[in-house]
């Protein structure tokens, strides 16, 4: 009989940005399949999700992968939060995704900043003042420009060991800023994998004594913010071969600026200023290979006969990928696509 450690992970009810929570359940001879993970419960009054007089909420397992960093046999179990009657809790963004057939594919580019707990500044920043201006840090190598690589590489390796579909990592534009990319066929699984990867990053940060700063504008001034660019496609975008169809889908985003910005992350107005590779928060634009647009049409899509994907560059690094995907899907489905 093998004792297995199942780490149940969920999102709390804190606003405007939810946090990760987790606790461990020990079971015998777990198969590793999510359908074999039991429903569990937790105290919602301690996570801003329930009142003390009626605090039991349910954890419904939705995604499971190995946890090789733990001694013995361990698994990570991502969960949705349900009310006691098994209806989705109001904090449950995953339940709002309308993609039961997994027609939508998502690739999220998760940027983040590693912050020194003692100084409260990104790693690599001096105690007083600032490092040299942006320019040498993006995709950099060398001790002067690339900092905390050991932690970033450990996270990268652990994600791959867990079976997460991480497609790459790189140092980003600001000192102490990094990015990883995850792709999945199915909006829900893409969100599941981003959240599990975020959880692993937080846990490794404990070991290194570094805080993971997901704020979208961690340093004021002439420094890039942090985003979570959402690359997306469905069968239509992958196969249509039509510029007119792409125009129609992009134009469907124009009247829904507010609906998207409402779920694209807290304080995003500090990042979406029209500078630092962004469009202004209250404007909408799209263009081929345009990183200053709201939506970029990748050159790959054009060169492959208008068969590919789109990139929404507006989601912030602190956004919930579930909610981002849900809004993108609603908008794409609403588009008046020419026959």
> Residues of CATH 3.30.590.10 domain(s) within the chain?
105-334
Nearest to 124, CA basis, from 158, 148, 140: 148
Task: With 0.75 as the threshold, say if the pTM is over it.
Answer: yes
pLDDT (tens, 9 = 90+) of the chain, 339 residues, equals: 899 999 999 999 999 999 999 999 999 999 999 999 999 999 999 999 999 888 999 999 999 999 999 999 999 999 999 999 999 999 999 999 999 999 999 999 999 999 999 999 999 999 999 999 999 999 999 999 999 999 999 999 999 999 999 999 999 999 999 999 999 999 999 999 999 999 999 999 999 999 999 999 999 999 999 999 999 999 999 999 999 999 999 999 999 999 999 999 999 999 999 998 899 999 999 999 999 999 999 999 999 999 999 999 999 999 999 999 999 999 999 999 887
- Domain 105-334, architecture per CATH: 2-Layer Sandwich (3.30)
- pLDDT for the residue 276: 87
Name the segment(s) of the chain with CATH classification 3.10.20.70.
Answer: 3-92
User: Residue 285 and residue 255: Cα distance in Å, rounded?
Assistant: 11
pLDDT at 7: 98
Q: What are phi and psi of 280, to 5 degrees?
A: -65, 150
Angstrom distance (rounded) from CA 144 to CA 177: 14
The tokens describing 54, both together, are: 């009626």
Question: Which residues are within 8 A (CB) of 197 and not within 5 positions of it... i.e. 6 or more apart?
Answer: 110, 155, 159, 164, 166, 180, 182
Distance between alpha carbon 203 and the CA centroid of its chain, in Å? 16
DSSP state of 305: T
Domain at 3-92, CATH from 3.10.20.70, 3.30.43.10, 3.90.550.10, 3.40.228.10: 3.10.20.70
């Amino acid at each position: 009989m093998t004792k297995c450690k199942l780490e149940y992970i969920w999102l709390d009810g804190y606003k405007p940005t939810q946090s990760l929570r987790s606790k461990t359940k020990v079971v015998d001879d777990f198969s590793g399949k999510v359908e074999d993970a039991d429903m569990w419960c937790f105290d919602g009054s301690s996570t801003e999700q329930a009142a003390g007089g009626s605090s039991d909420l349910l954890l419904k397992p939705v995604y499971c992968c190995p946890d090789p960093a733990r001694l013995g046999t361990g698994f990570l179990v991502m969960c949705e939060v349900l009310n006691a009657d098994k209806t989705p809790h109001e904090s449950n963004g995953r339940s709002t995704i309308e993609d039961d057939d997994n027609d939508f594919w998502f690739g999220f580019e998760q940027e983040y900043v590693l912050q020194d707990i003692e100084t409260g500044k990104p790693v690599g920043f001096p105690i007083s003042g600032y490092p040299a201006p942006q320019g040498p840090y993006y995709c950099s190598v060398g001790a002067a420009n690339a900092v905390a690589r050991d932690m970033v590489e450990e996270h990268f390796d652990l994600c791959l060991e867990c079976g997460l579909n991480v497609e790459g990592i790189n140092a980003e534009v600001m000192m102490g800023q990094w990015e990883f990319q995850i792709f999945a066929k199915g909006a829900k699984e893409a969100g599941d994998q981003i959240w599990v990867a975020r959880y692993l990053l937080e846990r490794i940060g404990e070991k290194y004594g570094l805080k993971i700063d997901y704020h979208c504008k961690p340093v004021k001034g002439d420094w890039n913010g942090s985003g979570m660019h959402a690359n997306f496609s469905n069968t239509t975008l992958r196969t249509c071969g039509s510029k007119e169809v792409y125009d129609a889908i992009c134009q469907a985003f124009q009247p829904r600026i507010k609906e998207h910005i409402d779920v694209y992350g807290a304080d995003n107005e500090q990042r979406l200023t029209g500078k630092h590779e962004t469009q202004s928060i209250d404007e909408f634009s799209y263009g081929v290979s345009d990183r200053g647009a709201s939506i970029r049409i990748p050159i790959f899509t054009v060169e492959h006969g208008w068969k590919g994907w789109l990139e929404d560059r507006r989601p912030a690094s602190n956004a919930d990928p579930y909610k981002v995907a849900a809004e993108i899907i609603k908008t794409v489905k609403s588009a008046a696509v020419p026959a």
